[in-house]
C-alpha cells in the first residue's frame, strides 16, 4: 500500500498495516526532519524493520540531498541477512508499483569469514584465521614482492578486483552476503573488498555494530562514510555493553609473554632491514616528522569518522622524538613491557585511575605521557614499514600499544584493576590487568557527532530515558509503542509462591534453599504437562542452572518432566548448544515437544527467536541480575553514580529487567503468535521491577496475577492456551490491530494512533 506520512509518500510492501507501524513511521519521520537522534521502542514482532526501511527509503527518494545513505547496524549475521531480505521485498514492491527499476544500491557487509570465496582461505574455521591468511595474501608489500618473485602466492580474486573492480561500480541492486559471493564468483572478484569498497557509494549499508563502534574496525571500514547518513542501531538494548567492550583491554601474563616475543621479532627485523635497506627506515622517520597532518586535515574537512583511540589533539602534533626511530621505539616498548610485568607481580588487588597509573609509570621507569599516547599510531607505522606478513601474530603487541594510547588519552571513564587471582580460586595465581571502560559514551560519541540522525531502537528499551543518559546524547524523539491486539496473545504471569506458600526467589539468601529449588522444579513439571510444543526456561546464570539441574536430577524431577517433553540444556560450548537447539526445534516440529533450559545473558537469549510453536511458554527463573561482586562492575556503578547520577540499584535493576524482557520477548513474533511469559520470582511484583518492563508487556500484567502460586499459574495458563488455540483469522484482526488503507485514513483511527506512541 502507499501511505501518506505527513506529506511523504511511503511505499509499504504489504496489503495491511499494524497501527503501531504507522505510528512508528510518523515518529521516525519527525526525527529525520529534525535531523536529530531518536530512541524508539517497539514490541518485537510488529514489523519494526520493514517500517524503518520503508520510511527511510522513501525519505531518501524524496530528499536525496538531505539523506544520502542509510547505515543499518544489527547484532548478528542472521539479523543482518534478514534485514537485507526485507529490503529486497521492499524494492521489489517499488519496482512493481512504479514499473521501473530504481538505481538503489544496498548491500550487507560482514567479516571475511562470511564473504571469502578463496577456496583455501574460506575453508578455515575461525574468523581470525581467515583474516590472518587473507592478510598474508593481499597485503600491499606481499603483492609488491610478487613483482620480484612471481612464485609468491597471492589471492587471484583480490588481484582481479584490484585490477578491474575498482573502476566499475557495483551495479544497482540488493546484495545479501550470498549474492555478493555469487557476484564475486562470477566476476572473479573478492567479495569482501568489493563490499568494503562499495559501501562508500551504496545507498544502504547493513552491517554489524562493530563496524561503527569498535574503533579498531571503524577506522578501517567506516571512516569515510558520508556525514549525511542516517544510522540505525537495531536491537540496541545492549548497545552500552558493546561500546564498553570495544574500549576495554585485559592483559594477562600470557599476553605479556607473547608481547615479549613480538618485540624480539621486531628487534630482529629492524636489525635485518638496517643491514639491507636502511633507506626504508629513514623514509619512515621523515614521514613521522611530518606528523599526522594528513589525518588531521581529513578530519577537519569532515571526511573521516573520528577515532576515539586517536584523539584530535595528537593529530596536530608530530610523533615525539623519543620514539621516532625504530630502535628507540622498540626500546621504549621493552621498558613499558617490563613495567607491566612488574605490575602483574602483585599479591593483592589493586585498583587505580588512569592518572595514578601514569604517575606511577613515570616514577618507576620514566615513561612520559606523550610518547605513550602515540604508541598505537607509531606501532602501526612500524609494522607497515617492516612489512610484517602476519598481523595476527602481532596482536599482543598491538593490544599493549592500544592500551598505552587509551590509558594516556582518557583521564576519565576508565579504571585499572589488577587482580592477582580469580575470586573462586585464590590459590592459583593468574594475574590480570583489567583496563576497563566505564563510560559507553566514549566509543559512541564520534557516531553521534558525525552522523546527522542516529536511531536507537529495539523491542525492549525501557526505561527509555536511561539510554540518552548513559550514552550522553540528546534525542529529539523518544517514544515507546504498544502493541494493539485483537486478542491478548501474551500472558505475563508472576509466580511468587509455591503450592506450599514458600516464597519463590533466586535472591542470594535463598538460592540454595531446597524448598525453592523443589518448587521451581514443580513449576516446570506442571507447565510441561499443560503447554504444547516448546517451553524455554531461562536461569539467572550458568552456575545457578547447573546446580538446579543437578538437584532436580537427584530429586527425580527431571525424569518426571521427561515423561512429558524432551529436555535440552544450553552448555558453555557454543557448538554443543547449537546442536541442542536444532534438536530442540526438531522435537517441537515433530510434535513431541521439548524444553530448553537456557541462561539469561547467554548466547541463546541474545540471538535466537522462539517463534510460534518453538516457544509457547517462557519461564524466567529468578531475576537475572549481573554478578554484582565483580570489581569491574562495582567500579562502573560508582562511575555511573558520580557522573550520571544513576543510583546503583536503579542501574542493576534496569540491567536485570532488560535481560528478563529480552528473554521473554523471544517467544512472541507478530500478532498471530502467542505465548506465556512466566516470571518466577516474587520480586517481579514490586513496582520498581515491574515498572522497568517494556510497556507492551507491563500493560498486560493485571493486579490479580502478581503473586500467584504454581497451581494458580497452571490454571491460568490452561485457560489462556485453550483460548489461544481457537482459530484466529485475519478478519478478527481487521480494523483493530490490522488496518487497510481506508481504515487507516479514517479520522477516528488517526486519533487512536496518536495514542499508541507513548512519549516520555
- Which 3 state secondary structure label does DSSP give 497? strand
For residue 481, the minimal CB distance to another protein (Å) is: 16
Stretch that binds another protein, among 212-220, 332-340, 642-650, 680-688 (CB under 8 A): 212-220
638 binds another protein per the rule CB under 8 A: no
Positions 274 through 303 that interact with another protein (CB under 8 A): none
Q: Report the residue from 9, 62, 101, 127 that binds another protein according to the rule CB under 8 A.
A: 127
Phi, psi of 333 (to 5 degrees): -60, -40
Q: Report the residue from 89, 280, 287, 384 that binds another protein according to the rule CB under 8 A.
A: 89
Q: Which is nearer to another protein, 273 or 652 (CB)?
A: 652
Measured torsion, CA atoms of residues 336, 339, 345, 348, in degrees rounded to the nearest 10: -100
Stretch that binds another protein, among 299-307, 310-318, 510-518, 547-555 (CB under 8 A): 547-555
For residue 300, the minimal CB distance to another protein (Å) is: 29
Q: Which is nearer to another protein, 497 or 671 (CB)?
A: 671
Binding string, 182-211, against another protein, x = CB under 8 A? -------------------------xx-xx
Positions 600 through 629 that interact with another protein (CB under 8 A): 603-604, 607-609, 627
Positions 6 through 25 that interact with another protein (CB under 8 A): 14-18
CA–CA gap between residue 713 and residue 705 (Å, rounded): 8
Tell me the pairing of strands 453-458 and 475-481.
Answer: unpaired
Stretch that binds another protein, among 141-149, 250-258, 501-509, 674-682 (CB under 8 A): 250-258
CA–CA gap between residue 132 and residue 668 (Å, rounded): 41
Stretch that binds another protein, among 426-434, 471-479, 491-499, 692-700 (CB under 8 A): 426-434
Query: What length does the chain have?
Result: 760
399 binds another protein per the rule CB under 8 A: yes
301 contact partners, CB below 8 Å, separation of at least 6:
none
Q: Which is nearer to another protein, 18 or 473 (CB)?
A: 18
Q: Report the residue from 261, 351, 547, 643 that binds another protein according to the rule CB under 8 A.
A: 547
Q: Report the residue from 566, 646, 736, 750 that binds another protein according to the rule CB under 8 A.
A: 566
Q: Which is nearer to another protein, 217 or 749 (CB)?
A: 217
For residue 610, the minimal CB distance to another protein (Å) is: 10
CA–CA gap between residue 98 and residue 88 (Å, rounded): 15
222 burial (CB, 10 Å; 0-12 / 13-18 / 19+) is buried
Positions 646 through 665 that interact with another protein (CB under 8 A): none
268 binds another protein per the rule CB under 8 A: no
248 binds another protein per the rule CB under 8 A: yes
CA–CA gap between residue 478 and residue 728 (Å, rounded): 33
For residue 279, the minimal CB distance to another protein (Å) is: 33
Phi, psi of 618 (to 5 degrees): -120, 130
47 binds another protein per the rule CB under 8 A: yes
Q: Report the residue from 121, 470, 479, 558 that binds another protein according to the rule CB under 8 A.
A: 558
598 binds another protein per the rule CB under 8 A: no
Stretch that binds another protein, among 94-102, 311-319, 469-477, 576-584 (CB under 8 A): 576-584
Give the end-to-end CA distance of the chain in Å, rounded to a whole number.
31
52 binds another protein per the rule CB under 8 A: no
Stretch that binds another protein, among 108-116, 270-278, 294-302, 743-751 (CB under 8 A): 108-116
20 touches 46 (CB < 8 A): yes
Q: Report the residue from 237, 671, 689, 692 that binds another protein according to the rule CB under 8 A.
A: 671
For residue 438, the minimal CB distance to another protein (Å) is: 10
DSSP string, 534-578: EEEEEES-HHHHHHHHHHHHHHTHHHHHHHHSEEEE--S-HHHHH
354 touches 417 (CB < 8 A): no
Stretch that binds another protein, among 463-471, 509-517, 551-559, 649-657 (CB under 8 A): 551-559
CA–CA gap between residue 375 and residue 359 (Å, rounded): 17
Peptide bond into 463 cis (omega under 30): yes
For residue 33, the minimal CB distance to another protein (Å) is: 26
Residue 567, strand partner residues: 595
Q: Which is nearer to another protein, 629 or 645 (CB)?
A: 629
For residue 260, the minimal CB distance to another protein (Å) is: 15
351 binds another protein per the rule CB under 8 A: no
251 binds another protein per the rule CB under 8 A: yes
Q: Report the residue from 149, 151, 301, 590 that binds another protein according to the rule CB under 8 A.
A: 590
568 binds another protein per the rule CB under 8 A: yes
Distances (CA, A) of 245 to 11, 213, 439, 441: 38, 10, 10, 12
575 binds another protein per the rule CB under 8 A: yes
For residue 150, the minimal CB distance to another protein (Å) is: 32
735 binds another protein per the rule CB under 8 A: no
Q: Which is nearer to another protein, 206 or 697 (CB)?
A: 206
Rounded (10°) angle between helices 19-33 and 747-756: 70
632 binds another protein per the rule CB under 8 A: yes
Distances (CA, A) of 561 to 183, 232, 537, 596, 710: 50, 43, 13, 12, 16
133 binds another protein per the rule CB under 8 A: no
DSSP string, 200-222: TT-SEEEEETHHHH-HHHHHHHT
225 touches 199 (CB < 8 A): yes
401 binds another protein per the rule CB under 8 A: no
CA–CA gap between residue 693 and residue 699 (Å, rounded): 9
For residue 284, the minimal CB distance to another protein (Å) is: 25
CA–CA gap between residue 105 and residue 171 (Å, rounded): 7
**Nearest-CA neighbor of 673 among 53, 14, 16, 43?**
43
For residue 487, the minimal CB distance to another protein (Å) is: 12
Positions 448 through 487 that interact with another protein (CB under 8 A): none
Q: Report the residue from 39, 396, 444, 536 that binds another protein according to the rule CB under 8 A.
A: 396
Q: Report the residue from 275, 428, 474, 759 that binds another protein according to the rule CB under 8 A.
A: 428
**Alpha helix locations (H) across 277-350?**
278-290, 293-300, 312-316, 326-344
For residue 405, the minimal CB distance to another protein (Å) is: 14
Rounded (10°) angle between helices 395-409 and 326-344: 80
464 touches 42 (CB < 8 A): no
622: left (phi over 0), alpha (psi -120 to 50) or beta: left
178 binds another protein per the rule CB under 8 A: yes
Q: Report the residue from 54, 136, 138, 246 that binds another protein according to the rule CB under 8 A.
A: 246
Amino acid at each position: 500500500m502507499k501511505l501518506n506520512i505527513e506529506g511523504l509518500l511511503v511505499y509499504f510492501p504489504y496489503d495491511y498495516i499494524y497501527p503501531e507501524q504507522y505510528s512508528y513511521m510518523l515518529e521516525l519521520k519527525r526525527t529525520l526532519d529534525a535531523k536529530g537522534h531518536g530512541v524508539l521502542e517497539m514490541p518485537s514482532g510488529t514489523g519494526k524493520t520493514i517500517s524503518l526501511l520503508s520510511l527511510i527509503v522513501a525519505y531518501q527518494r524524496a530528499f536525496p540531498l538531505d539523506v544520502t545513505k542509510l547505515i543499518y547496524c544489527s547484532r548478528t549475521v542472521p539479523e543482518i541477512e534478514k534485514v537485507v531480505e526485507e529490503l529486497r521485498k521492499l524494492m521489489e514492491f517499488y519496482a512493481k508499483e512504479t514499473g521501473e527499476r530504481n538505481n538503489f544500491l544496498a548491500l550487507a557487509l560482514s567479516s571475511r569469514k562470511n564473504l571469502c570465496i578463496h577456496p583455501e582461505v574460506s575453508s578455515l574455521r575461525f574468523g581470525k584465521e581467515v583474516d590472518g591468511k587473507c592478510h598474508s595474501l593481499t597485503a600491499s608489500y606481499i603483492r609488491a614482492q610478487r613483482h620480484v618473485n612471481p612464485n609468491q602466492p597471492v589471492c587471484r580474486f583480490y588481484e582481479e578486483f584490484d585490477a578491474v573492480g575498482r573502476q566499475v561500480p557495483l551495479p544497482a541492486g540488493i546484495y545479501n552476503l550470498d549474492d555478493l559471493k555469487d557476484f564475486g564468483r562470477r566476476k572473479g572478484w573478492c567479495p569482501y573488498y568489493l563490499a568494503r569498497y562499495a559501501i562508500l557509494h551504496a545507498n544502504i549499508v547493513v552491517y554489524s555494530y562493530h563496524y561503527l563502534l569498535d574503533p579498531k574496525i571503524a577506522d578501517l571500514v567506516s571512516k569515510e562514510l558520508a556525514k549525511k547518513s542516517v544510522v540505525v542501531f537495531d536491537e540496541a538494548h545492549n548497545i552500552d555493553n558493546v561500546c564498553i567492550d570495544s574500549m576495554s583491554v585485559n592483559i594477562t601474563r600470557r599476553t605479556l609473554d607473547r608481547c615479549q616475543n613480538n618485540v624480539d621479532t621486531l628487534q630482529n627485523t629492524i636489525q635485518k632491514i638496517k643491514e639491507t635497506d636502511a633507506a626504508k627506515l629513514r623514509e619512515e622517520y621523515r614521514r613521522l616528522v611530518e606528523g599526522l597532518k594528513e589525518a588531521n586535515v581529513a578530519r577537519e574537512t569532515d571526511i573521516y569518522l573520528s577515532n576515539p583511540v586517536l584523539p584530535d589533539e595528537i593529530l596536530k602534533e608530530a610523533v615525539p622524538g623519543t620514539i621516532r626511530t625504530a630502535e628507540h621505539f622498540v626500546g621504549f616498548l621493552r621498558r613499558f613491557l617490563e613495567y607491566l610485568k612488574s605490575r602483574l607481580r602483585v599479591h593483592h588487588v589493586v585498583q587505580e585511575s588512569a592518572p595514578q597509573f601514569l604517575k606511577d609509570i613515570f616514577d618507576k621507569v620514566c615513561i612520559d605521557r606523550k610518547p605513550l599516547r602515540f604508541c598505537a599510531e607509531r606501532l602501526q607505522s612500524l609494522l607497515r614499514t617492516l612489512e610484517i606478513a602476519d598481523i595476527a601474530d602481532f596482536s599482543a603487541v598491538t593490544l599493549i600499544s592500544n592500551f598505552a594510547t587509551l590509558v594516556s588519552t582518557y583521564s576519565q571513564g576508565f579504571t585499572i584493576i589488577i587482580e592477582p587471582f580469580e575470586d573462586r580460586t585464590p590459590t592459583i595465581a593468574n594475574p590480570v590487568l583489567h583496563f576497563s571502560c566505564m563510560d559507553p559514551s566514549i566509543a559512541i560519541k564520534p557516531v553521534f557527532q558525525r552522523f546527522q540522525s542516529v536511531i536507537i531502537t529495539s523491542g525492549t528499551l525501557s526505561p527509555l530515558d536511561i539510554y540518552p543518559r548513559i550514552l550522553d546524547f540528546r534525542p529529539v524523539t523518544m517514544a515507546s509503542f504498544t502493541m494493539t491486539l485483537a486478542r491478548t496473545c501474551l500472558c505475563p504471569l508472576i509466580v511468587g509462591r509455591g503450592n506450599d506458600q514458600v516464597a519463590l526467589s533466586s535472591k542470594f539468601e535463598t538460592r540454595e534453599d531446597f524448598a525453592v529449588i523443589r518448587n521451581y522444579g514443580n513449576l516446570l513439571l506442571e507447565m510441561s504437562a499443560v503447554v504444547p510444543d516448546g517451553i524455554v526456561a531461562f536461569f539467572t546464570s550458568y552456575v545457578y542452572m547447573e546446580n538446579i539441574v543437578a538437584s532436580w536430577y537427584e530429586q527425580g524431577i527431571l525424569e518426571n518432566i521427561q515423561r512429558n517433553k524432551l529436555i535440552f540444556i544450553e552448555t558453555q560450548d557454543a557448538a554443543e548448544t547449537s546442536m541442542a537447539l536444532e534438536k530442540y526445534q526438531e522435537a517441537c516440529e515433530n510434535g513431541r515437544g521439548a524444553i530448553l533450559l537456557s541462561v539469561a545473558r547467554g548466547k541463546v537469549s541474545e540471538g535466537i527467536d522462539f517463534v510460534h510453536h518453538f516457544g509457547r511458554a517462557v519461564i524466567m527463573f529468578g531475576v537475572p541480575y549481573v554478578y554484582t561482586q565483580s570489581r569491574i562492575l562495582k567500579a562502573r556503578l560508582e562511575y555511573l553514580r558520580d557522573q550520571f547520577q544513576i543510583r546503583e540499584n536503579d542501574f542493576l535493576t534496569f540491567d536485570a529487567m532488560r535481560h528478563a524482557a529480552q528473554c521473554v520477548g523471544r517467544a512472541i513474533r507478530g500478532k498471530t503468535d502467542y505465548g506465556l511469559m512466566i516470571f518466577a520470582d516474587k520480586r517481579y511484583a514490586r513496582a520498581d521491577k515491574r515498572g522497568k518492563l517494556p510497556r507492551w508487556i507491563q500493560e498486560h500484567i493485571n493486579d490479580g496475577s502478581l503473586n500467584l502460586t504454581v497451581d494458580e499459574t497452571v490454571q491460568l495458563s490452561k485457560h489462556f492456551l485453550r483460548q489461544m488455540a481457537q482459530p484466529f483469522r485475519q478478519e478478527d484482526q481487521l480494523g483493530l490491530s490490522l488496518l487497510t488503507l481506508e481504515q487507516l485514513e479514517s479520522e477516528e483511527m488517526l486519533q487512536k494512533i496518536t495514542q499508541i506512541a507513548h512519549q516520555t
